[in-house]
Homo-oligomer: A and B are copies of this chain.
Amino acid sequence: MSDNVPIDKNIIDAAIKELHVDMTRASIREVNRLISVLENRTGLRFIRMEFGIPGLKTDRIAIEAEIEALKNLDVANQYAPFDGVPVLKEAASEFIKAFLDLDIPPSCCIPTNGSMQGCFISMAIAGHRKASAGKILFLDPGFPVNKLQAVVLGLQSLSLDFYDCRGGRLLAKLEEILEGGEIGGVLWSSPNNPTWICLTESELEGIGSLLTRYDVLGIEDLAYFAMDFRQDYGRPYCPPFQPTVARYTDNYITLISSSKMFSYAGQRVAIAAISPVLMEQKSADLLPFFRTDRIGHAFIHGGMYSTTAGVAESPQYGLTALFRAATAGKLDFISPLKEYARRAEFMKKVFLRNGFHLVYDNDAGIPLADGFYFTVAYPGMDGNELLLALIHYGISAITLLTTGSSRAEGLRICVSITGQDQFEDLEQRLQKFQIDHPVR
């Protein structure tokens, strides 16, 4: 297949122009659209690593539970409770006990239309809980759409980059920023999209105590729950447990996504686990935006009710079944996910032996886990040049710049939909790329 690359420059330039893609800041969706057009026009199957979508099937347990709810529970005609179906709230609370070792009652487990909605509402609350502290701090790099959410909410944001900044250094920098008093919320994901670094227990402990000391809300996006495969987080009620800031502060909203963990992205259902202390906490500054001063009420009534009137009901039963099966030890949801690690291990090596290097290249001094993403760069090129050059070789990704990274040289590589059948193509295309782009 490497005969077909590089693709004729004119074809690519024409498509970029036609679709109005600004290659200095192309979003995931724009790259996605461009590549689809190029695949159509050239007949070449790209190695698509731009989009972080699940590449595995949803377990039958969820599908069958949804069908059962549709057939026998009459879920379609009536609004579900806006704070979630009671069985899901209970199953979520028990799942959290089993896999996070936390006691969060069902009333504090709120189903959302994906963690996207959980992040959106959490940021709205974080930005208005204290009138004097309306900015969001992103621990970066991160999920590009979180930045868009802050923009849509009219909230200003700051960025603290993990690069060269872990452990004590991370905490010192964080404290320096929080001391300023203008931050209402701190948002991060761990395992991290896009670097796949994983915050350690001691980092989370430090972050938690800073959140408490400066009374700032922590928004912990567990989009890749239990996917640090160096540890076995998959045994219910047994240590080790998925690390979480919730162990170290009461100022947290922890978002538990089903999209990657259960490959259940299409039905848009996740859980926002709200600290029981925060749930009942009052802040008069919330009143003008939520007509209530209670944070829990603001999340449910001001947030869930006013944006979507809750979550579609049958997916809530699907997620209930998945949580219950995992908690009962009847669903090993980790093993299928390890396919991503196998892909990452192989694909990383292919990049490294063809002249690339990792940008975020270690995890607080130890080797990175293999997971959903990793980050690469190529000598003498910045990220925008590299992305455009790789597209000529039938390879797509997104730049680290769009993830809020300070490292202009890098790309994010997502392994999720690149199966073994494309490994040889990847190797050949990167070889050809390296030959055509000799490093001075």
Task: List A residues at the B interface (Cβ < 8 Å).
Answer: 29, 53-54, 56-58, 62-63, 66-67, 70-71, 74-80, 82, 113-114, 116-117, 120, 124, 145, 148-149, 151-152, 154, 259, 263-269, 288-291, 301-303, 305-315, 318
Of B117, B268, B307, B312, the contact of A266 (CB 8 Å cutoff): B312
* Nearest Cβ on chain B to A122's Cβ, whole angstroms: 12
* Cβ–Cβ contact B53 & A74, under 8 A: no
Chain B neighbourhood of A305, CB < 8 A:
29, 116, 145, 148
* Cβ–Cβ contact A267 & B76, under 8 A: yes
Chain B neighbourhood of A80, CB < 8 A:
266
* Nearest Cβ on chain B to A44's Cβ, whole angstroms: 22
CA A374 – CA B301 in complex, angstroms? 26
* Cβ–Cβ contact A268 & B124, under 8 A: no
Q: Do A288 and B151 contact each other (CB < 8 Å), given the known contacts A70-B66, A70-B67, A307-B117?
A: yes
* Nearest Cβ on chain B to A108's Cβ, whole angstroms: 18
* Cβ–Cβ contact B318 & A76, under 8 A: yes
CA A29 – CA B304 in complex, angstroms? 13
* Nearest Cβ on chain B to A187's Cβ, whole angstroms: 14
* Cβ–Cβ contact B116 & A77, under 8 A: no
* Cβ–Cβ contact B77 & A56, under 8 A: yes
Interface centre among A77, A82, A154, A306 (most CB of B within 10 A): A77
Of B57, B63, B312, the contact of A315 (CB 8 Å cutoff): B312
Chain B neighbourhood of A265, CB < 8 A:
77-79
* Nearest Cβ on chain B to A398's Cβ, whole angstroms: 15
Q: Do A291 and B148 contact each other (CB < 8 Å), given the known contacts A67-B70, A267-B313?
A: yes
- A selection of 6 A-B contacts at a CB cut-off of 8 Å is A66-B314, A67-B70, A78-B265, A148-B302, A152-B289, A267-B312
* Cβ–Cβ contact A53 & B78, under 8 A: yes
* Nearest Cβ on chain B to A264's Cβ, whole angstroms: 6
* Cβ–Cβ contact A152 & B70, under 8 A: no
Chain B neighbourhood of A309, CB < 8 A:
113-114, 116, 145, 268
* Nearest Cβ on chain B to A328's Cβ, whole angstroms: 21
Q: Which 9 A-B pairs have the closest CB atoms?
A: A58-B76, A113-B308, A266-B313, A116-B309, A268-B312, A77-B263, A58-B77, A267-B312, A312-B312
Of B63, B116, B120, B154, the contact of A76 (CB 8 Å cutoff): B63
Chain B neighbourhood of A302, CB < 8 A:
148, 151-152
* Cβ–Cβ contact A57 & B74, under 8 A: yes
* Cβ–Cβ contact A312 & B269, under 8 A: yes
CA A344 – CA B263 in complex, angstroms? 46
* Nearest Cβ on chain B to A281's Cβ, whole angstroms: 16
- Kindly report which residue of chain B lies nearest to residue A116, judged by CB atoms: B309
Chain B neighbourhood of A77, CB < 8 A:
54, 56-58, 263-266
Q: Do A76 and B62 contact each other (CB < 8 Å), given the known contacts A29-B301, A289-B152?
A: yes
Chain B neighbourhood of A264, CB < 8 A:
76-77
- Kindly report which residue of chain B lies nearest to residue A54, judged by CB atoms: B77
CA A267 – CA B314 in complex, angstroms? 7
Q: Do A152 and B71 contact each other (CB < 8 Å), given the known contacts A79-B53, A267-B76, A312-B113?
A: no
Of B66, B74, B307, the contact of A307 (CB 8 Å cutoff): B307
Q: A148-B291, A148-B302, A308-B308 are in contact. List 14 more A-B contacts (CB 8 A).
A: A29-B305, A58-B76, A58-B77, A63-B76, A66-B76, A67-B67, A113-B268, A113-B307, A114-B309, A120-B307, A154-B154, A266-B312, A268-B310, A307-B307
* Nearest Cβ on chain B to A378's Cβ, whole angstroms: 28
CA A305 – CA B149 in complex, angstroms? 9
Chain B neighbourhood of A269, CB < 8 A:
312
* Nearest Cβ on chain B to A40's Cβ, whole angstroms: 15
Of B53, B308, B318, the contact of A114 (CB 8 Å cutoff): B308
* Nearest Cβ on chain B to A85's Cβ, whole angstroms: 10
CA A266 – CA B81 in complex, angstroms? 10
- Kindly report which residue of chain B lies nearest to residue A63, judged by CB atoms: B70
CA A309 – CA B318 in complex, angstroms? 19
